[in-house]
Chains A and B, each alone.
Chain A
Amino acid sequence: MYVVIAGAGKVGWNLARELMAKGHEVTVIESERARYLTVEQELEHAIQYGDATELWVLERAGINRADLTIAVTGDDEDNLLICQIAKEKYLCSRIIARVNNPRNRQYFELLGIQPAVSATDLILRLIEHEVPSYGLVHLLDLRDEQLEIIEVEVGQGAPAAGQTVADVALPDGSLIISVLRNGRGFVPNNETVIDAGDEVLLVLDPGLEDRITAQFTSG
């Protein structure tokens, strides 16, 4: 696979290393001269000096034959536009954009730049996982595939508490795939009774979260 990476910061440099170690061909583009010279000592010909928002710089890096373009500069507008141009002008089949400020994520979605990865969001998600009082944890979100996996804790007196899996009033497009009880997970069958305090994993179509949490939270 041929990968073009815009930005040789910590993320871009380490990505390049890992991808090269896996046998992929990589070109990194870095616009800051001093940083370029530092990284060039290790990556040698796999890094080029230039502003990846300029078309000729992308073309020099071989964007026309790239299988994947990754934009991981520290600037959200740059990342957005680099991916937009890679996708729409050079018809690069896969793009990945970094979102520095999670508030800008909406703009990546608006302009169809997906996936857009935000380290802040990922850490927030981990915090939610550690602090289950938030109620609902997103374990997996595949937007393009319209698939989500969430985890909910069953509250005392919740509609689902004490019900068998078959009797829990779940909306169409959702399914209980696992129950975590006393630190152990198991795949339930229709007769399994859901208890308060259980953590339940569900696979669902996007947009059903509210109707599902209503079944698992108290009053």
Chain B
Amino acid sequence: MALILIVGAGRVGSQVARSMLSSGHEVSILDEDPLSHERLDSGMDTTWEDAGGRFTVGHGLEIDALREAGIGEADVFIASTDGDNTNLTIAQIASKQFGVPKVIVRVMDPARAEWYAEQGLHTICPTKYAIEMFERALEV
């Protein structure tokens, strides 16, 4: 069982959080917007905490919030806020300052996703997948 810390529980982050929790991992979420907590609860039988999840309100650049959310013990760090620049910054902090073994970062901008991947970051670029799917859909 790994501790997975997810910063940014929007549509993507919250869904990844739920599926990781149901596959038996420990999941901690850090999000500056308490509304994200409601998103996690919606459509569920229990609250996020009752299901075993953790939730911390705070920004991914606040060191105290990161610590409270468990970055010191995290096995996996996922940066999935709605800002590329925040994601790229906190992912590097998780890796270089806290030595989190596995860091995954969402980057919407394909050019930077590619360059930071070359620098050793595990980037995921939804825009790139969308482009590919459009292209495939247009192949008749």
Contact = CB atoms under 8 A, between A and B. Distances in A.
Query: Per DSSP, are chain B's interface residues mostly helix, strand or loop, or mixed?
Result: helix
Interface string B71-109: 000000000000111101100110011000000000001
Given A110-B93, A110-B97, A55 B85 contact: no
Contacts of B129: none
Contact of A88 (B85, B89, B111, B119): B119
Query: Per DSSP, are chain A's interface residues mostly helix, strand or loop, or mixed?
Result: helix
A85 B86 contact: no
A75 interface: yes
Contacts of A55: 111-112, 115
Interface of A: 53-56, 75-78, 80-81, 85, 88-89, 103-104, 106-107, 110-111
A183 to B, nearest CB: 43
Nearest to B112: A55
Given A104-B61, A110-B97, A53 B85 contact: yes
B39 to A, nearest CB: 24
28 contacts: A53-B84, A53-B85, A53-B109, A53-B112, A54-B112, A55-B112, A56-B111, A76-B61, A76-B89, A77-B83, A77-B85, A77-B86, A77-B88, A77-B89, A80-B89, A81-B85, A81-B88, A85-B112, A85-B115, A88-B119, A103-B62, A103-B63, A104-B61, A106-B63, A107-B93, A110-B92, A110-B93, A111-B92
Nearest to B86: A77
Determine the interface band of chain B, counting residues with CB < 8 A from chain A: 10 to 19
A43 to B, nearest CB: 25
Closest CB pairs A-B (n = 9): A77-B85, A77-B89, A55-B111, A77-B86, A78-B85, A81-B85, A110-B97, A53-B85, A110-B96
B85 A75 contact: yes
Nearest to A51: B109
Contacts of B62: 103
